Structure 1
């Protein structure tokens, strides 16, 4: 395979080195062979310096352009909220450096397409942090589906019901300052864009692209501006039918996190954000439960594929070309609300 960078080591520069970089992602970049974090950036120089000192990173910045143009950096990780993804990706692409972007890819499909176009023009790889594609429980689930463990897939159902986040208060302006996810101008579409993006991307991975979507979204609790309830039906290109319901303002007795694949010979159920278990049920057989241990740095398996891809050893399964499809599906599911 052809190398996508000239160097023998991926030297990461991180834009927006916040909470996601403490455990989930950046430390993995420092542990993977032929990979290291050499520079970090945050608008608060004090916070960037603090992160660099605590994690053994040699260089820090409070200016994105300076990190992007650092000659020691040969790959960029954009770990900011979604509203900054497009502009930073365009700058990074024009510098000729490969890009890894947090999910969702951007706020809108239009922004995603701009990112893809610029990266293709610059011949720069674009990867997106849909890391569940490479976690052991989800890889095992994919193998079950690929091997027809429950026969032909008829349909899939997604249910996610969560209580109102405790950091959201009655004063919307105050809560916006403490949680960017509930401001659609920053996140693209609230908790739905933050969490359902993982679920819908995984469905794209194991079942293929969605070709048709019908959805309804609303705001029932009136605690913030983003949609807090969504219901949708969708059809994949292969004819499999999907349905989903998401609500982020239920009582704790109603909380649920479940995805169920229903086949001609049984069903498989998995929790997307809870315990890493798979439940396999087939008529005439006892319920089978499969348990998994997840990596401490949850993004490490996916980041490993990126490093391998850049150095010519393998292929990363999560790119801008796949991630834009998830943005499109989410937009279709919520357009009745955000088109107002």
Structure 2
């Protein structure tokens, strides 16, 4: 068999996420080609393909998966279809780049891990923040022991009601898995694992404080890592506007590292010294991760985010929110 030199992509689900965050990156990355897109609404699929200079479009996922020229697929549909589409893609002998949250539950996650391990094809979870400049810097600071031994990390993500008014489907637990927390937290939790390693124990509680929707809008979580680092996180999606907050602080014996998930600024504090770092993300914010995924699919590196990492994130989220 001739070793492939280019990853030829098909996108399943060319909605808002694919429009800027990810879609164009498949055409910008080295050794990467975007051949086709799919959306159930044929007119919208055709429009996306025309605007982004994509040769082919489909309104049926099976037809896209049946194209022998496509070697890999990006699944960017709502989470309720992630498992079924991933299984179909693997069966069609396609490599998979899968949006977060990876699946809806631990049960689905176990099924996907088994399918990937029994397949000759590859799967990467789209926890793309691992390869953004600010988080690369955080990891570098931690590995260089700049703030000394890490004691604990405090995460506070407090948002007013309807902070993402365009994402109303995320308030339907059968589609999203459980509200805005299940959309926002996967990246944040994955970064904690990326920074601190294997997990020892998990505890959590979630409640529906406002009663506006069927899903919980307040989540508290505790994680103890095997290296004894402690994590405490709180997420609220119905907080008064004046209490809005987006902050993560890593406390070490010699100082702190502080950053926000939606601002590209990091503050390093060492006793009397404070230093601020500013970062600029690529226009297509998933491009660095997609490039690493392309390299992995071509056999040039290890997996940038394996299905097992996605499985851990789903397990933590489910433990935080289960009744």
Please give the TM-score of this superposition, normalised by the length of structure 1: 0.92
Residue 281 of structure 1 is aligned with which of 269, 278, 281? 269
Q: Which residue of 2 aligns with 1:28?
A: 25
Mapped to 1, the partners of 2:47 and 2:113 lie a distance apart of 33
Deviations 1:94-141 (A, max 9, x none): 111100000010111211221121122122111011000000000000
1:102-251 alignment, distance < 5 Å: 102-165=99-162, 179-251=168-240
2:86 matched to 1:84? no
2:281 matched to 1:294? yes
Aligned with 1:7: secondary structure? coil
Mapped to 2, the partners of 1:204 and 1:232 lie a distance apart of 14
Mapped to 2, the partners of 1:189 and 1:239 lie a distance apart of 30
Across the aligned residues of Structure 1 and Structure 2, the Cα RMSD in angstroms comes to 1.5
Residue 266 of structure 1 is aligned with which of 229, 241, 255? 255
Deviations 1:290-330 (A, max 9, x none): 11111111000000101111112223421211111011001
Mapped to 1, the partners of 2:220 and 2:7 lie a distance apart of 42
Mapped to 2, the partners of 1:280 and 1:167 lie a distance apart of 30
Please give the TM-score of this superposition, normalised by the length of structure 2: 0.97
1:205, CA displacement in angstroms? 0.6
- Structure 2, gaps ≥5 residues long: none
2:11 matched to 1:14? yes
Q: Contact (CA 8 Å) 1:302, 1:316: kept in 2 or not?
A: no
- Structure 1, gaps ≥5 residues long: 169-174
Residues paired across the two proteins, number: 323
Q: Contact (CA 8 Å) 2:296, 2:304: kept in 1 or not?
A: no
Mapped to 2, the partners of 1:57 and 1:195 lie a distance apart of 29
Q: Contact (CA 8 Å) 1:309, 1:316: kept in 2 or not?
A: yes
Q: Contact (CA 8 Å) 2:163, 2:237: kept in 1 or not?
A: no
2:315 matched to 1:328? yes
Q: Which residue of 2 aligns with 1:310?
A: 297
